[in-house]
Amino acid sequence: MRAALLPLALLACAAPVPVVRSGASSSTLAPSPDRRTLWITSPDDDRLVEVDATSLAVVRTLPSAVEAGAVVRLGDTLLVASARSPAVVIHSLIDNQPSRVVPIPCRAVDAMVRWDDASVLLACGGDDRVLRLTAGGELRGVVRVPGRPTALARVDGDVVAGCSRDGTLQRFTWPESLSGGVATTVAPTTRRLADRPGHAASQISAVVPDGAGDVLAVYQDVDRDSDRARPPADGAYGAATDGDARIEPRLAGLCGSRYARFDGGARVLSGPSALAWDAAHRRVWIAHRYTDNVAVFSCDHGPRHLGTFRVGRGPRGIVLSDDGGTAWVDVGFDHAVARLSFDDAVPERVREAAAVVRRPVVPTRLSAEAMRGRSIFHDAVDTHLTPSGVVTCATCHPDGGDDGLVWFLHTGAIAPKLRRTPPAWTARAALAPLHWDGAFADAGSLTRATITGLMGGDGLLVDEGAVSAWLSSLPVPAARPRTPEEEPQAAAGERVFARAGCGDCHRGEYLSDGQRHAVLAPSGDPAAQLEQADTPTLRGVGARAPYLHDGRAATLDEVIGAHNAGDRHGRTGALSDDDRRALISYLEGL
């Protein structure tokens, strides 16, 4: 059963709740200056919504001008990052000045945190960058952070970035001398989260300071290639044995450990999307986007489960009260806000939220069918999709993109193969046939095969048309705006692209001819053999390392070398070092 949505009238007698904590982590919620209301981003209708912290009633709305993701308050200013485009919107809360849209040199923002009283840090996972932006819209520096940074925290004056492609936490000191948009390289200390062979740490969705000089982080631990001798019957990812699964959420830090258990009880938890830390009580609250719930754990002798709350579809942000006893949750797919009371928590039990209130939305950017498809894509609760609550389509394709991983796949329905996850947004008619080998004619057949062949579901009663509608509605990743310093080399790279014949196959709106070609040398891994590969789109290619169907190329420079090794024309082999650097600069911005 999904969480019931309570009518507003039932909240009239609700007891006063504590004020909202100022917060130090990236979230889709931010307190107002008096901390008695909350601002929430509403990407489906391009709005900022202010709600009363007690009644959850809507106080006012503002246009956000972008598909809003994270929000941070700096004094009387709200900064809203776009989750799909290269922009930040700056709102003043104390006057009638119009909002300003500030362009930034990255495709989109994965996380945003307060750096000081006058600036924020932005994680640009698609560009391997972290930016610093002032409340006035001035770009104060760009730092290269390889590995796809998707979460950020400030700890004792240092930056800690959670990087979802390489599964690391990277810590570095921000170079205070930086200004402008020229990217600078730093030397971070790096901590790898997945420590078992064949496993990877994926979707590092939240990093928060623990108050003791370190961080807590939440992520998905995935078994991508640990046991090639596993029988095909045991190859699906949706099943669990004695509560253990091949994909599970994990905590890193003070109480870092496994914390979910897929046994049908209160710890069926998948897709961690947000994290809040109550240092005074040593309690951590974790929102889970795929199982529609929030779980609370004690870090004393833990993690020890204290309770789970049902909140509704697609929770994506969480903040706490000053006393740590109340949590507010942005229930994104339901366009709702939930309020949770720790006093209602019961160990090893699932409880309802104290209050869940929907807000009205103006006509949305997505159709009703596409929003239904998005919900299915992220659903680990429906047993027709997956039997144990372990996996969803979004597990490998977060937000309709890709996890950046290379998987060894072998199930009863899939012969052994090694494949790099393609972006889900490419599952549209203009790029059919789909997958590296062009095996699927359309998104519906691909969805059906994924559910039954990989996720362990039976596929009954699944609206594949709705999933296809959502996939078709996903925007193509935005190109990264180039700084004046980058423009000359990128322009030279575009000329190299034409001269080297890259456009013979990478052409049209999506820079793909939709055909299969034999352009690669054979792989030394039998599972990676593919005689002809479907031409991948180059839109957003700078964000998709590692490259090629088997992930054999770690960089775009290696892609150029691999094509030369397998292409009998060998035209890229004649490129000078300057030509290759220019070509890479051009490709990185597509």
Q: Map out the domains of the chain with their CATH numbers.
A: 21-184 (2.130.10.10), 371-473 (no CATH), 487-588 (1.10.760.10)
DSSP state of 87: E
Which amino acid, one-letter code, is at 316? R
Cα→Cα distances 114→120, 152, 157, 348, Å: 4, 10, 12, 35
Alpha carbon distance 9, 6 (integer Å)? 8
Residue matched to tokens 């040398």: 521
271 burial class (0-12, 13-18, 19+ CB within 10 angstroms)?
Answer: buried
For every one of its 590 residues, what pLDDT tens digit does the chain have, with 9 covering 90 and above?
344 333 333 333 445 556 888 766 789 999 999 999 999 999 999 999 999 999 999 999 998 878 889 999 999 999 999 988 899 999 999 877 778 999 999 999 999 999 999 999 999 999 999 999 999 999 999 999 999 999 999 999 999 999 999 999 999 999 989 988 888 999 999 999 998 999 999 999 999 999 999 999 999 999 999 999 999 999 999 999 888 899 999 999 998 889 999 999 999 999 999 999 999 999 999 999 999 999 999 998 889 999 999 999 999 999 999 999 999 999 999 999 999 999 999 999 999 999 999 998 988 999 999 999 999 999 999 999 999 999 999 999 999 999 999 999 999 999 999 999 999 999 999 999 999 999 999 999 999 999 999 999 999 999 999 999 999 999 999 888 888 888 999 999 999 999 999 999 999 999 999 999 988 888 889 999 998 999 999 999 998 999 999 999 999 999 998 876 555 444 555 788 999 999 999 999 99
- Taking alpha carbons only, the member of 393, 394, 396, 412 closest to residue 404 is 396
Alpha carbon distance 289, 220 (integer Å)? 12
Cα→Cα distances 540→280, 400, 470, 514, 577, Å: 43, 13, 19, 17, 23
Q: Kind and range of the H or E element at 349?
A: none
The predicted structure's pLDDT at residue 572? 57
Q: Does the bond joining 315 to the residue before it have cis omega, within 30 degrees of 0?
A: no
Beta bridge partners of 192: 168
37-42, strands of its sheet edge to edge = 29-31, 37-42, 47-52, 58-63
Alpha helices by DSSP H, listed for 305-408, are 368-377, 393-396
Alpha carbon distance 160, 508 (integer Å)? 40
Residues 276, 324 contacting (CB under 8 angstroms): no
Alpha helices by DSSP H, listed for 454-529, are 464-473, 487-499
Q: pTM to 2 decimals? A: 0.94
